[in-house]
Amino acid sequence: MVATIDVLKDSGYHGLTIERVATSAGVGKTTVYRWWPTKARLVAEALSTQLEFHPVAATGDLRTDIRYLVQRAVQALHRSPLAQVLPEMAYDLDHDPEAREEILKLFGPARASNLSVLYAAVGNGSLPYDLDGALILDIISGTVLYRSLLGRDLGPHIIDQLTDLVVDFRLPRAHPRHDSS
Amino acid sequence: MVATIDVLKDSGYHGLTIERVATSAGVGKTTVYRWWPTKARLVAEALSTQLEFHPVAATGDLRTDIRYLVQRAVQALHRSPLAQVLPEMAYDLDHDPEAREEILKLFGPARASNLSVLYAAVGNGSLPYDLDGALILDIISGTVLYRSLLGRDLGPHIIDQLTDLVVDFRLPRAHPRHDSS
Amino acid sequence: MVATIDVLKDSGYHGLTIERVATSAGVGKTTVYRWWPTKARLVAEALSTQLEFHPVAATGDLRTDIRYLVQRAVQALHRSPLAQVLPEMAYDLDHDPEAREEILKLFGPARASNLSVLYAAVGNGSLPYDLDGALILDIISGTVLYRSLLGRDLGPHIIDQLTDLVVDFRLPRAHPRHDSS
Amino acid sequence: MVATIDVLKDSGYHGLTIERVATSAGVGKTTVYRWWPTKARLVAEALSTQLEFHPVAATGDLRTDIRYLVQRAVQALHRSPLAQVLPEMAYDLDHDPEAREEILKLFGPARASNLSVLYAAVGNGSLPYDLDGALILDIISGTVLYRSLLGRDLGPHIIDQLTDLVVDFRLPRAHPRHDSS
DNA sequence: CACTAAACGAGACGGTACGTCGCGTCTTTCT
DNA sequence: AGAAAGACGCGACGTACCGTCTCGTTTAGTG
């Protein structure tokens, strides 16, 4: 497991080989296969031991809380180890439902926490009563991941833009906004 | 090239092998390598001969036009051949800038057309003058792709939700909205 | 191993391909490479399982024994499977000392036996006390191999000529000798 | 042709490629194939332009002349460029009679000269009247080539031993003969 | 002098084999 | 009994040359 993480860091998901993990763990390949049927499952589980969710108290101030939420999405999906690994795993996850499940579990706590922030705001009237929180989160994550995949701009302004979208229902403005803020 | 498309359809990007393409084209491996240095480049170019952009006249009615734009994004990124292939290519594209360029070119015409729709609406005052059109499009595409990747719900309501987001600056509502439309 | 012999018989050393041997043995190429680093080593070992030395009792009559010795050299270096393969291997053997060692081992028993015949004759005074037996054998083998390589005459008289050379210290005579014997 | 020699020197017969020769000659592959149907023919012809025979006057002293003859055989078949190339060509020559012819022509002048030395000695009674000169020469060449191929000892004594064999009809003696010379 | 045709350079082509890597299974060996 | 070690059949990798095959482009030689 630790070995998996090491290899993953050194070589990425593509460079990770069952053979390599086994060797670096001082273990027979057989043993690895015994416990994890696929590379995806192995990595999924390894990541799950590695990443842990640090819950954050909501401040109650909508803009602050949303901004933080967006920030964490960007971090998680842009330069984190997870983000580097996820796209390489895309295919395997699509063909290995159990691994997908495992990976999705990793997002669970953060997602729940984020939803609770949103619905707290709904509760006090800052956001519409029939808000589709899940979609909001997907919009944020999706936008960030998409830009990351395509190698497009992911500068700091995108955080403001997405925050404004949620807090003010405001469509993103062209980003020479730092001078107007 | 045609052979590449065939193999791609049969076996997906992962199942596509230079050897297979060569054989199925009745061609030596060397010839394939001579023209396309990597699998990603080969597939990118094959896709580009396959996909063509059908421009659509804007109606002038913002909601209709945006709706159509969103619809096309969903089609392009959900069940199209391209959509099935893209995630599998993610890793290679990340390590093969030329292939990425080629793939991005595929999006070019549709993207330009979509931008023109948005900025036409900006022009007649239906959308804010300082709109970040590129980000809007990324939000739409990103959201759709993200849900597609995670295997999440991509029913018809998402089209309405994203349309409303752009047209009415309205955050997505929970989707029992078909009864209210 | 058996497969190697088969392929060797069918196609000679040049036509023998690791790939072919592997296929015809129902085995992965890797396995072949695991055990024999080079084609030369593989063939050398295959030959060594195939060829076995049949020792022959010396009669004590010098001419008879030498004649038989020469005869066997001609057989071994002219039309035997080994002889057909050896020249094709020349280059590889020159660049693969271990394979050369292996091949030389094949000659070992016959060479030893031949030397013992010679030195027995030295012992009873039929041949000079300070005879260079090794060179005698090389002269016989070398002459035969050389003619074989150049496609030159290797008729039966050469056996007599070489025998006489050793037994009578007599230089080879022009070979219409069958009528004078 | 000059290019062929260059490549031959750099890379040996095995490393010599029609492609390489063509390139290094600044010539299309086609042109090479037009003039020389096979690698063997090409090399054979190249060698024939390179090697020339320097006739040597016979001294009339048998031992001196024979010794020189043997010496030249050793030089030609041991460390000369030809000797390095010949074994690698063995297979091709066996399957390309025209190339063999060409190569044999290279030996022609030297062979003729050597035969004339022998038969001059026959003429003045120093060697038996019915001597098989061709075989004598093959014995010398064969022995040298054989030892060369097998990587066996080819020190200076072998020259004395072979000379004695011819001049004195004496079988080779074990070679601590340098102290007696 | 212009025209033609052979010979040419360049290099693409369909192939075959190379030696390597990683797969996922299976067997042997040793605790 | 269970794990390490690693052999195994397999299939793809990307490379090197093979000998064949167009392509224009020189270069003579001839009319």
Question: D43 CA to chain C: closest CA distance, Å?
Answer: 16
Give B-chain residues touching A90 at CB under 8 angstroms: 87-88, 90-91, 149
| CA dist., res. B117 & res. B107, Å (int) | 15
| CA dist., res. A114 & res. D146, Å (int) | 85
pLDDT at C176: 60
Question: A57 CA to chain B: closest CA distance, Å?
Answer: 24
Q: Please tell me which residue lies nearest to nucleotide F20, judged from CA to C1'.
A: D30
Quick: pLDDT tens for C85-143: 888 888 898 888 999 999 888 888 888 888 888 888 888 888 888 888 888 899 999 99
Do residues B146 and A138 make contact, with C-beta atoms less than 8 angstroms apart? yes
pLDDT surpasses 50 at B180: no
B175 versus B37: which is more confidently predicted? Answer: B37
Quick: pLDDT tens for A77-124: 887 777 778 878 888 888 888 888 888 888 888 888 888 888 888 888
Mind giving me the DSSP string for A33-95? HHH-SSHHHHHHHHHHHH---------S-HHHHHHHHHHHHHHHHHTSHHHHHHHHHHHHHHT
- D touches B, CB cut-off 8 Å, minimum 3 pairs: no
Using pLDDT thresholds of 50, 70 and 90, give the confidence band for residue A180. Answer: very low
Q: Could you write out the three-class secondary structure of A145-172? A: HHHHHHCCCCCCHHHHHHHHHHHHCCCC
| CA dist., res. A123 & res. C69, Å (int) | 108
Residues D47-52, mean pLDDT to the nearest whole number: 81
Do residues B144 and A139 make contact, with C-beta atoms less than 8 angstroms apart? no
Does the global pTM surpass 0.75? yes
| CA dist., res. A117 & res. A2, Å (int) | 34
A44 versus A126: which is more confidently predicted? Answer: A44
| CA dist., res. C47 & res. C30, Å (int) | 21
Give chain A residues 20-59 with Cβ within 7 A of strand F.
Answer: 26-31, 34
Contacts (Cβ under 8 Å, ≥6 apart) of C113? C53, C55, C56
Residues A27-50, mean pLDDT to the nearest whole number: 87
Comparing CB atoms, the residue among D132, D161, D174 nearest residue C161 is: D132
pLDDT at C179: 47
pLDDT at B175: 65
Mean pLDDT of chain A, nearest integer = 82
pLDDT at C22: 95
Interface touch B143/A147, C-beta < 8 Å: no
If one counts every other C-beta atom within 10 angstroms of the C-beta of residue A124, the result is 9
